[in-house]
Chain A
Amino acid sequence: MQIPFTVAPRPDTGVNNAKIGVWLFLASEVMLFGGLFSAYIFLRIGAPEWPGEIGGHMYERASDILNVPLATLNTLILIGSSVTMVMSWASLAMKRFDRYRLYMGATIALGFAFLIVKAFEYGEKFSHGYLPAENNFLAIYFVLTGLHGLHVIGGIIVNMYFMWPGARMWKTDPKRFTNRIEIAGLYWHFVDLVWIFLFPTIYLL
């Protein structure tokens, strides 16, 4: 059976089903991350000190315990990957498959770069014995950035599928393939959006 409205817009919504589907998914993601952000606000308002005592030492600012330069670098990496993602879609819209490969490859590479930087950050914390169980600040830091990291991994897997096996569709159904890249892009930009709020609220405040 053919899935209806994968390319043509559905008459009642005015958009194709894939796009409605991914936006509904993103709406549920807003609530997932929103719930955890609420938990963060909740913990923080209730805390007498924030980040508080970690490893027998009292910290007054998150930036004293977290690595702001590395997180800034990661912010720029993710913003850059959003640009290459949207450029990979624009390349397909201009029928330039060679450029698509280039930009999609860059998006995947930047996704991995983000994870590597994140791994360094986590490694630094772990080596000092700063684990989620240490205090509330570290718990919410690891939960929020960890869940975000899992989303980055998910995005990389999807993008790698469209870089290699999934790219065969360009020959059989280029319009649908271009749509798929736009849809994958919507998810990737959402992951960037979450980080845009995570970075200042967790690292800088």
Chain B
Amino acid sequence: MSEHSVEEIKKHVRVYMLVFGSLAVLTAVTVVVGYLELPFVPALIVALLIATVKAGLVAAYFMHLVSEEQVIRWLVWLSLALLLVMFLLFSVYYVDQIGFLIFGF
């Protein structure tokens, strides 16, 4: 984000308010789903999906990634890819139990 006219910023502000509303609603949904006491796997999927959407909204609009330069976006994708590698490395430890964790046998 470099130079902006006042008009442009006013448009941004409207978007920020919409994002704020969406984040508040999604927080409420997360909590309500939490109280439903769903089985673990569906609860995990729903919670992570909602959290990812919320994080995406914050990153895209508050952190300006929608209009950011390519180099920053690549940096973000690279760090997320490394994060995924780290998660996968940890799960290798349990590779012999994956059938049990997913299918229950």
Interface positions of A (Cβ within 8 A of B): 9, 13-15, 19-20, 23-24, 26-27, 30-31, 34-35, 37-38, 41-42, 45-46, 61, 63, 68, 72, 75-76, 79-80, 82-83, 85-87, 90, 93-95, 182, 185-186, 189-190, 192-193, 196-197, 199-201, 203-205
Contact = CB atoms under 8 A, between A and B. Distances in A.
A13 B47 contact: no
Interface in B56-94: 58-59, 61-64, 68-72, 75-76, 78-80, 82-83, 86-87, 89-91, 93-94
Given A45-B101, A201-B47, A86 B30 contact: no
Contact of A68 (B2, B31, B90): B31
B83 A30 contact: yes
Interface of B is mostly: helix
A30 B2 contact: no
16 contacts: A9-B69, A20-B72, A20-B75, A27-B75, A38-B87, A41-B91, A68-B34, A76-B27, A82-B62, A90-B12, A182-B64, A185-B62, A192-B62, A193-B59, A204-B31, A204-B34
Contacts of A15: 68-69, 71-72
A182 B90 CA distance: 35
A87 B16 contact: yes
Contacts of B79: 26-27, 30-31
A103 to B, nearest CB: 11
Contacts of B47: 200-201, 204-205
A24 B75 contact: yes
A23 B83 contact: no
A136 to B, nearest CB: 15
A76 B23 CA distance: 8
Contact of B1 (A34, A79, A182): A182
B71 A20 contact: yes
B24 A79 contact: yes
Highest count of chain A CB atoms <10 Å: which of B4, B34, B63, B76: B63
A90 B2 CA distance: 12
Nearest to A89: B1
A63 B31 CA distance: 11
Interface in B1-26: 1-2, 4, 6, 9-10, 12-13, 16-17, 19-20, 23-24
Contacts of B51: 196-197, 199-201
Contact of B94 (A9, A38, A45): A45
Contact of A90 (B9, B30, B37, B83): B9
Given A20-B71, A23-B72, A30-B80, A193 B58 contact: yes
Nearest to B88: A38
B60 to A, nearest CB: 11
A14 B54 CA distance: 28
A63 B7 CA distance: 46
